[in-house]
Structure 1
Amino acid sequence: MSPAPMRKDAARNRQRIVDVGRQLVNDGAPLQLNDVARLAEVGVATVYRHFPTPEALMETLATPGLEALVARAERALTEDEPWQALADFLDTTLEAQLTDPAISIVRAAPHHVLPRTTELATTLDSLAGELLDRAHAAGTVRTVVTWDDLRPLMCGAAYAATVHADGQETRLASGRRYLSVMLHGLRR
């Protein structure tokens, strides 16, 4: 049985909360639910009713980006050239991490509070592992490399690009340079 549809005012308040949360995350500010309530001009109880924890709000913000990455990984698995499919997927992943801070935060979290986030993260890891397995089978990637190795390396490349470069374009260029070095090391 699906939940009852949300009242229009409740849906409007939820969207205001999400919009404020997105702005705070994009600005690099912490997600404090009391601050979100103040900035969204809603009651604190309203925020907590929709998002019981800051992590729930953060995961909600990351969901569209995670869904897009899952879709990209699924498309990559249909591509003919395993190495290029993996490299392009990793490039898309890096770009998502550098343009949507919520994705990096959620992907680096040791656990998730929303079942949908857990589902997306598990699916994404599984699909990425399949992409890597295809590249292994094609003989284009060193066999000692696992997705458990690549995932933190991707987070590290995104983090390094964020810390060592100012502005989104410079971060993307730096991140892609770091990814290129990493891909060069992976290739057989």
Structure 2
Amino acid sequence: MSASEKPALRADAARNRTKILAAARRLYEESGEAGPEQVARAAGVGVGTLYRHFPNREALAAAVYEDELEQVAVAASELLRTHPPVEALRLWMDRFARRFDMKRAMGDAVWSLVRGGTVTADRSRARLAEATQVLVEAGIESGELRTDIRGEDIVVALVGICVTCPDASQREQASRLMDLLLAGLIAPSRVFRL
């Protein structure tokens, strides 16, 4: 049975799954570790409930990783509903950086998923590039962004910023670099000239 053919979860099961993922995310952010028993306790569910959703530690880590990736991707369209394209893009850049922090907090769990082939950089980047392209196309359509921009290039630039500014003490510098990146994406007709 493929993922698209899986039966929908009952409402209570879906709520439990959401609580488990949120608890695991919090634990990874706080300590870099999210053992099943610890996550179940933090989520307020039994260990058996956790194992029904996630049969092992790797499955739980993969679900947290995938859920975070999907939340960042979906945020692009959500931001466009409430903000002009350039503002939405800049806010999305901040959301991307928070995802990168989460990925870093998961540390060994992510490396284990990469080594096992569960997570691939190509697939993750492709999903993020697809989301970024939604923002880019809205910005081009509004005349705010250059027409030669590609979502995948923005993702690579953001990865570079996040890798070179990994510490909390470098958040301000990372933000300035994202501002510079955005400035380079603005359509020439929108740039103020002296």
TM-score normalised by length of structure 1:
0.60
Shift in alpha-carbon separation, 1:12–1:98, aligned structure 2, 3 A: same
CA contact (8 A) 2:80 2:135 kept: yes
Residue 111 of structure 1 aligns to a residue in which SS? helix
Shift of 1:153: 0.9
Give the aligned partner of residue 158 of structure 2.
154
The count of corresponding residues between Structure 1 and Structure 2 is 159
Shift of 1:178: 0.4
Shift in alpha-carbon separation, 1:98–1:73, aligned structure 2, 3 A: same
1:59 aligns with 2:54: no
CA contact (8 A) 2:133 2:150 kept: no
Residue 123 of structure 2 aligns to a residue in which SS? coil
Give the aligned partner of residue 17 of structure 1.
20
Give the aligned partner of residue 124 of structure 1.
131
Shift of 1:56: 1.8
Q: Write the distance in 2 (CA, Å) between the matches of 1:68 and 1:57.
A: 16
Shift of 1:65: 4.6
Give the aligned partner of residue 40 of structure 2.
40
Shift of 1:142: 6.8
Shift in alpha-carbon separation, 1:58–1:148, aligned structure 2, 3 A: closer
Shift of 1:97: 2.6
Which residue identity does 2:141 align to in structure 1?
A: R
Deviations 1:123-159, CA, capped at 9 Å, x for gaps = 6244123135336xx485373x322211211232233
TM-score normalised by length of structure 2:
0.59
Structure 1: gaps spanning 5 or more residues: 80-84, 113-117
CA contact (8 A) 2:73 2:128 kept: yes
Shift in alpha-carbon separation, 1:165–1:142, aligned structure 2, 3 A: farther
Q: Root-mean-square deviation (CA), in Å?
A: 3.9
Residue 90 of structure 2 aligns to a residue in which SS? helix
Residue 3 of structure 1 aligns to a residue in which SS? coil
Moved over 4 A (4+): 10-13, 61-65, 102-106, 120-123
CA contact (8 A) 1:20 1:36 kept: no
1:71 aligns with 2:78: yes
Shift in alpha-carbon separation, 1:14–1:129, aligned structure 2, 3 A: same
Q: Write the distance in 1 (CA, Å) between the matches of 2:9 and 2:167.
A: 47
Q: Write the distance in 2 (CA, Å) between the matches of 1:160 and 1:48.
A: 37
